[in-house]
Chains A and B, each alone.
Chain A
Amino acid sequence: MRWLLVKDLRILRRSPLLVSLLVIYPIVIAVLIGFALSRGPDKPEVAFYNGLEGRPTQVELGGEQIDLAEEGQRLFDAIDPVPVDSRAEAIQKVEDGDVLGALVIPDDLASNIQSALEPGTVEVYYNAEDPAKRQYVENTIKSQVQDANSALTKRVAKEALQLLDLISEGGDYTFLGQDFDVLGLQRSEEILKAAREDLPEESPERAELDRVIAFASLARENLAFSDDVLNVVGEPIRVKATALDGGTTSLNSFAIALAVAVSLMFITLLLAAGTLALEREENAFARLVRGLVSRTALLVEKAGLATVCSVAVSLLMLAGLSLFVDLDWGRFPLWLAALVLAALAFAALGLAIGALTREVRAASLLAFMLCLPLAFLALVPSGAVAPALYDVIRAVSAAFPFKPALDALDAALNDAGDLGGPLLHLAGLALVFGALARVGLRRFA
């Protein structure tokens, strides 16, 4: 047993690629998960422009003084605000991908709310790079505005209840600097009952009756004011959301593009890497390249095989999905272009992996281990991580075919954005990884 263990450790020591993979992979995954947890969606960075800064932030709703700056703090319970000096700067930060979105409090928010006749409006800007992000941003911001609305509603409802209590019970009340002694319905009832018992029908006790009339008038005014309050109470603040970039793909349609991209990546990478590595594992490579087949022809054959197989499977998958969702078959040529170029780019990457590893098992393992983080990174939304890290993620995603493949498939399937750019990107990656694979074959035999 002991000697078997020593032997296995020795073999591992002499397999640096495998050991590196086994060590580095969990570290990378742990770091990614760590970032996901520590900078998760509950505290995304949002650019915040406060148009109320330097202006009065107190508004009176139903006689209640409300500090909007204080109430606005509730918006930040679930976001990490990045203060900016202007609406333009906020929008720029979103466009640069530095923040998840931007929240703009316009200069007229306080006056609109003060008017009590229409809700105040806050503005939200974000990049809808993919539908998942759009839904996430909308949910996050809406949830926060709902919280703020709820808080304001409670304050105003409390004031409305006090007014109703005043009308019912009577008491002192100050409005627009004037003090009133409100009689209240209960006391009015008592007075009216006494007057009815004590006075003959033609009695001139007008003073008492005047008080009743005044109360009736004030009660009517207060109730009318309560109507205004109650109109606004439902939604004191409204959100005007603007997507700066990205398509209008629904989450379901995007999920189809994502599923196809992931399947295409797995099939093509594993096939290309595995079949090339198999040539060496079977000792056939040297026999093949001594005049029977050129190294370049061998790579082209493997890329062709992987591409044809994965495109066929992807088309079958789309045909199956079309039974459940509406797919525009009129765009089939565009689907095919996106699938073929994406498959070629994945195949070239797979061949580079196969040439590097030279063993089927190691090639398959490396291809598999590469797939998941690539998909994960391509789906990280801007603003969900620190700007510098997001730039790194964007660069890594651009260096591998998954992200452009996803963009191309989304554009081809859902008419979401530009198709030419991602196709060119994929063609470039296919050439680069193809060249790397060709270089790798020099030391293959």
Chain B
Amino acid sequence: MERASGIAADAATTIAARELVKRYGERVALRGVSLSAGRGELVAVIGPNGAGKTTLLSILAGIQPPDEGSVETASRIGWVPQQAALYGKLTVAENLMLFARLERVAEPSAVVQRMLALTDLEERADDQVSTLSGGNRQRVNIAIGLLGQPDVLLLDEPSSALDPRQRERLWEFILRLAEDGTTVVFATHHIQEADRYASQLIVLADGERVFDGSPRELEQATGTTGLDFEQAFVQFLHQRGH
């Protein structure tokens, strides 16, 4: 597997994956999946359960290597796993400080204060994470992913544990990051979120990339313009035999 820390071919591209294959024993989780994204781009990875979304993001994040294919990345990647990766017995500030120090960021205290402000968690800074709601935990989870000021932020189901109001605030936050030039790749089951926020859609089914384009292009591909986007997506999968 090839994993480069810089992308020479196209300066605007911050992450590119080519022909990724991943197998777990007999089961093939990814079958030659490719993608690329540039600065400030919002890429949604959608698909049915077991399609390979989490596997794709974990390979992009460097958690596990692909069996075949290559990933070229920007120097800094932030990763936000689906389940909050936090220490419940530590406070919000202690969790942020720990990972800031592990990320070796300059002036960790200042960065922690900035993240607390960014995620609107200043008042909860001294609360143990185990006492937080699911939504607040997810905000801390995302804040940790942002500590290293990444060029690319990978989010696995970022809004799955949130209520509609919290989701709205989360997306406002993510959109601000994208406006500032951060590439955001997110996997989601909320098809409407993908339609609403993503500039690029990657549709996976049975480990295979079956679509790569904008939400409008997906509607056009199915000939379902004017329908609810979720219905268009389901129809697209039916047409492709999934």
Contacts and interface: CB of A to CB of B under 8 A. Distances in A.
Contacts, number: 34
B85 A286 contact: yes
Contact of B79 (A282, A284, A287): A287
Interface in A277-318: 282-284, 286-293
Contact of B88 (A282, A286, A288, A291): A282
B84 interface: yes
B223 interface: no
A282 B58 CA distance: 17
Nearest to B102: A292
B86 interface: yes
Interface residues of B, number: 17
Contact of A292 (B58, B64, B86, B99): B99
Contacts of A290: 61-63, 79
B103 interface: yes
B173 interface: no
A384 to B, nearest CB: 46
B102 A284 contact: no
B47 interface: no
Contacts of A431: none
A445 interface: yes
Contacts of A293: 102
B81 interface: yes
A283 B87 CA distance: 9
A292 B78 CA distance: 12
Interface residues of A, number: 12
Given A290-B79, A292-B102, A293-B102, A284 B87 contact: yes
Interface string B77-109: 001010111111000000000010011000000
Given A292-B99, A292-B102, A292-B103, A286 B63 contact: yes
A311 B133 CA distance: 39
Contact of B102 (A282, A283, A288, A445): A288
B64 to A, nearest CB: 7
Contacts of B58: 286
Can you list the 3 inter-chain pairs with the closest CB atoms, starting with the nearest? A283-B85, A292-B102, A287-B85
Given A286-B81, A287-B79, 4 more contacts: A282-B85, A282-B88, A286-B85, A290-B61
Interface of B: 58, 61-64, 79, 81, 83-88, 99, 102-103, 144
28 contacts: A282-B85, A282-B86, A282-B87, A282-B88, A283-B81, A283-B83, A283-B84, A283-B85, A283-B86, A284-B85, A284-B86, A286-B58, A286-B63, A286-B81, A286-B85, A287-B81, A287-B99, A287-B144, A288-B102, A289-B63, A290-B62, A290-B63, A290-B79, A291-B62, A292-B99, A292-B102, A292-B103, A445-B64
